Chain A
Amino acid sequence: DQQVKQNSPSLSVQEGRISILNCDYTNSMFDYFLWYKKYPAEGPTFLISISSIKDKNEDGRFTVFLNKSAKHLSLHIVPSQPGDSAVYFCAVVIGKLVFGQGTRLTINP
C-alpha cells in the first residue's frame, strides 16, 4: 500500500525551462515532507523540506508547494540546468522516511 506516490516515472525538460515534479500522499495527518535528489552511484541528497504549517518553501531555484486539501506536493525547479538531471524522490517523515518511487528528470540542452 503506497503511502507516497510519484506517478510520473520520467520527465524531460529543456534547459532554462521550469521542471515540475509531482507527489501525492494518502494520509492527511502527514505533516513534514522532504525532497531528495539522487545521482547514479550516489546516495540521495537532501534538497528542500516543507511542513504542513506552510504551503510554500523556497531555496534558490527550488520551490516546494504543498496543497493539503489535495494531499499533493510539487517541486519546481527554475531555471532547469543540465546538472539537475537526476532521480527525484519525495518523502514523508513519520519517524522514518517513506519514499515515493521517484521521477527521473532529464534536462535537455
Chain B
Amino acid sequence: AAGVIQSPRHLIKEKRETATLKCYPIPRHDTVYWYQQGPGQDPQFLISFYEKMQSDKGSIPDRFSAQQFSDYHSELNMSSLELGDSALYFCASSPDSSTDTQYFGPGTRLTVL
C-alpha cells in the first residue's frame, strides 16, 4: 500500500540558512499534518492543512511557514535556521473519515550546524 512520502530524508544546513521539506500524502488523503520530534522527545504538532487551507496551528515558530498545494502535497519552509531546529520532522496524512487516523511518513532528519 502507498505510504506518506517525505523528501529529503536527511538534510544538513548551517545556521541562518533556509530549508524546505516536502510531504506527499497517501493518495485520496486530503489532510496533512506536520510534527517536530527533537532528540529523545515526543513528537510535537506544528501545523495542519485540510483541502489546502490551514486547519490547525500548534507550536510552530514564526520563522516557519507551510502550505498545501492543489495536488495535496505540502511543504514546510524554515528560515533563519537555529541549532535548536535540529530534529526529525514528520508529515502525516489522514483521509476525510470519521476516525481521521493519521499515517506518518518516515520523517526528514534536519541537522543544523
Q: Do A and B bind each other?
A: no
